[in-house]
Structure 1
Amino acid sequence: MNQPLRRIAWITDPHFDHAKLDVWQSWAAKLLELDPDAILITGDLSEGDDVAYQLRCLAETLNRPIHFVLGNHDFYGKSIASARRDLIALCRDVPQLTYLTDHPALPLNESTVLIGDDGWGDATEGNYADSNVRLNDFQLIDDFRNSNPDAWQSLLVAEGKAAADRVAEKLQNLPDEITQVLIATHVPPFREACWYEGKTTDDNWAPFFVCGQLGKALREAAERAPDRKHIVLCGHTHHDGVAKMADNLVVHTGFSRYGSLEIESMLTIEQDSLELSRPAIYFPK
Structure 2
Amino acid sequence: MNQPLRRIAWITDPHFDHAKLDVWQSWTAKLLDLDPDAILITGDLSEGDDVAYQLRCLAETLNRPIHFVLGNHDFYGKSIASTRRDLIALCRDVPQLTYLTDHPAVTLNASTVLIGDDGWGDATEGDYAGSIVRLNDFQLIEDFRTSNPDSWQSLLNAEGRAAADRIAEKLRNLPDEITQVLIATHVPPFREACWYEGQTTDDNWAPFFVCGQLGRVLRTAAEQAPKRKHVVLCGHTHHDGVAQMTDNLVVHTGFSRYGSLEIESMLSIEEDIIELSRPTICFP
> In which range does the TM-score fall when normalised by the shorter chain?
over 0.9
Separation in 1, partners of 2:274, 2:236: 22
Provide the residue aligned with 1:99 in structure 2. Answer: 99
Provide the residue aligned with 2:118 in structure 1. Answer: 118
Per-residue Cα deviation, 1:138-175 (whole angstroms, up to 9, x for no partner): 00000000000000000000000000000000001100
- Whichever residue aligns with residue 81 of structure 1, its letter is A
Do 2:263 and 2:278's aligned partners in 1 also have CA atoms closer than 8 Å? no
Shift of 1:228: 0.1
Provide the residue aligned with 2:5 in structure 1. Answer: 5
Per-residue Cα deviation, 1:10-43 (whole angstroms, up to 9, x for no partner): 0000000000000000000000000000000000
Do 2:28 and 2:62's aligned partners in 1 also have CA atoms closer than 8 Å? yes
Provide the residue aligned with 2:278 in structure 1. Answer: 278
TM-score, length-scaled by structure 2:
1.00
Q: Secondary structure at the match of 1:207?
A: helix
Per-residue Cα deviation, 1:104-135 (whole angstroms, up to 9, x for no partner): 00000000000000000000000000000000
- Whichever residue aligns with residue 97 of structure 2, its letter is L
- Whichever residue aligns with residue 278 of structure 1, its letter is R
Provide the residue aligned with 2:201 in structure 1. Answer: 201
Provide the residue aligned with 2:65 in structure 1. Answer: 65
Provide the residue aligned with 1:191 in structure 2. Answer: 191
Matched, 1:254 2:257: no
Separation in 1, partners of 2:179, 2:256: 30
Separation in 1, partners of 2:271, 2:216: 27
Do 2:239 and 2:255's aligned partners in 1 also have CA atoms closer than 8 Å? yes
Separation in 1, partners of 2:51, 2:87: 9
Provide the residue aligned with 1:17 in structure 2. Answer: 17
Provide the residue aligned with 2:47 in structure 1. Answer: 47
- Whichever residue aligns with residue 186 of structure 1, its letter is H
**Matches of residues 214-233 of structure 1 in structure 2 within 5 Å?**
214-233=214-233
TM-score, length-scaled by structure 1:
0.99
Shift of 1:280: 3.2
Separation in 1, partners of 2:189, 2:101: 15
Q: Secondary structure at the match of 1:151?
A: helix
Separation in 2, partners of 1:82, 1:48: 10
Shift of 1:279: 5.0
- Whichever residue aligns with residue 119 of structure 2, its letter is G
Matched, 1:161 2:175: no
Provide the residue aligned with 1:173 in structure 2. Answer: 173
Separation in 1, partners of 2:281, 2:215: 29
Separation in 2, partners of 1:235, 1:279: 17
Per-residue Cα deviation, 1:193-226 (whole angstroms, up to 9, x for no partner): 0000000000000000000000000000000000
Q: Secondary structure at the match of 1:216?
A: helix
Q: Secondary structure at the match of 1:48?
A: coil
Q: Percent identity, please.
A: 89
Separation in 2, partners of 1:178, 1:197: 35
Separation in 1, partners of 2:266, 2:124: 32
Separation in 1, partners of 2:259, 2:178: 39
Separation in 2, partners of 1:37, 1:191: 32
Do 2:263 and 2:279's aligned partners in 1 also have CA atoms closer than 8 Å? no
Provide the residue aligned with 1:244 in structure 2. Answer: 244
C-alpha distance 200-279 of structure 1, shift in aligned 2 (>3 A): farther
Shift of 1:278: 1.9
Provide the residue aligned with 2:234 in structure 1. Answer: 234
Provide the residue aligned with 1:268 in structure 2. Answer: 268
Do 2:44 and 2:70's aligned partners in 1 also have CA atoms closer than 8 Å? yes
Separation in 2, partners of 1:141, 1:225: 37
Shift of 1:282: 1.1
- For structure 2, the 5+ residue unaligned runs are none
- Whichever residue aligns with residue 273 of structure 2, its letter is S
Per-residue Cα deviation, 1:234-253 (whole angstroms, up to 9, x for no partner): 00000000000000000000
Provide the residue aligned with 2:87 in structure 1. Answer: 87
